Structure 1
């Protein structure tokens, strides 16, 4: 019985760790993309104003 609990906890811990890393990388990537797109919009603003 205790072996099952140990294996279940090991799998849950490993999956939580992997999911956390994936979410962190996704968040950092999304933030960088938003900064780059915002800078582009501000840079091209003068093309729109007549």
Structure 2
């Protein structure tokens, strides 16, 4: 019985670490894309005519 619980906890820990890494990578990628998009908007604001 204890081995089964250990295996389940091990699997849950592995999944948690994997999801955390994927979430971190996605967050960093989104942040970089937002910074690039903002820089492009700021660079092109002088070209906007009202």
Could you tell me the TM-score, scaled by structure 2's length?
0.94
Structure 1 residue 27: Cα displacement: 0.5
Can you give the 5+ residue segments of structure 1 that lack an aligned partner in the other structure? none
The number of residues matched between the two structures is 50
Structure 1 residue 37: Cα displacement: 0.2
Aligned-residue CA RMSD (Å):
0.9
Could you tell me the TM-score, scaled by structure 1's length?
0.94
